Chains A and B, each alone.
Chain A
Amino acid sequence: MARILGALTTSHVPAIGGALARGAQDEPYWKPFFDGFKPVRAWLDEVKPDVAVVFYNDHGLNFFLDKLPTFAVGAAKQYVNEDEGWGIPSLPPIPGIPELSWAIIERLVASDFDVTTCQEMLVDHAFTLPLKLFWPETFQTIVTVPVCINTVQFPLPSAKRCIALGREIGEAVAAWNSDKKVVMVGSGGLSHQLEGERAGFINKPFDLAFMRSLIDDPEWAAQYTIPQLVEKTGTQGVELLMWLAARAAVPGAVREVHRNYHIPISNTAAGTMAMAAKDLIATE
């Protein structure tokens, strides 16, 4: 059976792509953010995942308002990254693993998640940046399953529903007849708001409580409705749904490998976490 190693979570501001393209990782503005990945990469070098299931939100590259799924699962052999309008260099195609995609899709639909399936799917910075941040040199050796959660158009799926989605995906991966090692990736957040007179909103105490909750009480955030999460974290801070789903996809307890929190990157409170699955702890 496949083995779930744990979960990785990070913010995904487009400007990070610009900084990577320029090689700005050691500039004073960027260093506190990029340094947060070094201990995570050291852990990944040890545990060596083969597959990443990436929970992210599309920002208007693959999906438009003409057809906008609440939950969409990629089922392609590869995923193409394209220009999102800012001219940031795009990555070469990222390999997929249709066999696992379909195992996930079958499990989700059987458990009443009526997901959209995509055999062609453009992936934007929210999908590619975590790969570049966690595996700067080797991201093309990781095969992926993209899971896109709508945060563009309200109503959004609830925190509780995203946790349930993640849990089913974790069950599907755990039941997958394979010797692959799988890591769950959650891309988004933390608190930030781009639009309106409240633009620039950041909520540090909430973010820090949320990060702690993923270790101690991973359903803590489900007490809040989506509008309450927007109030507490900003209109884009609600992307923390990706973190909730990724964490929920790791069965049982987790150990914190590393966390980093830095204000600001662009308009965003940038967070990064790595969490190791309990059964991994048992063998360490």
Chain B
Amino acid sequence: MGLNQQTAAGLIKMINAGTAGAGDIVTDTLQRISDVDKKVGAFIDVAGRKALLKKAEGAKGRLAGIPVALKDNLCEVNRPTTCSSRILKGFKPPYAATVVRKLEDEGAILLGKLNMDEFAFGSSCETSCYGPTRNPWDLDRIPGGSSGGSAAAVAADEAIMALGSDTGGSIRQPASLCGVVGLKPTYGRVSRYGLIAFASSLDQIGPVTKSVEDCALLLGVIAGHDEQDSTSIDTPVPDYTEFLNSDIKGLKAGVPKEYFVKGLDSEVEKAVRSAIDVFKKLGVEIVELSLPHTKYALSTYYIIASAEASSNLARFDGVQYGYRAAGAKDIINMYSSTRSKGFGEEAKRRLMLGTYVLSSGYYEAYYLKASKVRTKIKEDFDRTYERCDFIITPTSPTAAFKIGERTGDPLSMYLSDVYTIPANLAGIPAISIPCGFTGKGLPVGLQILAAAFREDIIIKAAHAFEINTDFHKRRPSL
């Protein structure tokens, strides 16, 4: 077994015991990338071997020598960071994202950049200007999105861990479809400084890992207050690994009826129902719940997220950096032709939608109304905390679908995130962990949600499930 197939926690033990060297881990991982990434297409930029080996040599810290890959929307000093968009081709940030700095401080080996839907607009990793990433479990299928590269790389053992970003499910849905662990932390738990924004009030950076233990480890490294992000919250960061191996007997788990409705694939439902039974066996009390505003979440999300995106992405105009269309006659022409050629179809669709909902005369009917509904959705969750400690739902209504299957039908694509979006609107943490496989051998994910800053409960519940099941141990054959 190659060292790249280990978890981070496993490798740390081996390094400490002297049975693995940081250089060997890098070598095995790079070998794996060169063996399988032609098929998977997770990476869009891999760092040079020599530089990585040199870093591995003297690495110190909690993640010393552990190869970690980054979604292409996280800024690394002087390394291409493009959000998988033509409009940012050639952009090399002069500064590092706070999470990147933290990873480097803890000795992580940054492998390179991972493919994503353009500017995180998508659920299939098909809108990237570099072409699609493929699901390691079935190369004809999508890995999910937008952090499709992150989930596929970890599932294919091309990276020990990865960072993704989650605006409406962009970590959890691909984690679910690729059979790995993906956590969206509480809004404000992790600094967004250096994350190229999609929707500022919804975006969070989070871990994509092979196990809940690794997730706890990585979250502990990236979490914390940052003076450079006004929306990051100043509250202490616990050692999340302390919550591993906890007894969860007596905890209460809520199961919201609105998440088990038409559109939920029967095989996915079956896997999730069996997962609920596992929790019962572990002594967890199951509570039937209702989150009545769930049905408005998708439309609320598409208004708020697109509105913020239309403003956040206005800066990509060809003036300072990135792509600039040649031959413009004047400044207006330069803007329009740079943006017409620089952005892909889905990006343009969302930017137009966002511009529309903020326009004078429509603002009240769309953006303002959506903001009010968002509060209602948050209140739905607030009411459940008296009755349960965490909530269990499917992560995605279906397992991975075929490449090209939904690209012609944006609405069916948007529905892939119907179960993950509410957590972003409410700002609460949520994880996706492997909980089963379909008849075709495709992974199914279980979503666990908890109150804001209760990542501890999520880790307790997810780890208890993991150590009592084998789903996370299976790996795709490539």
A and B interact:
no
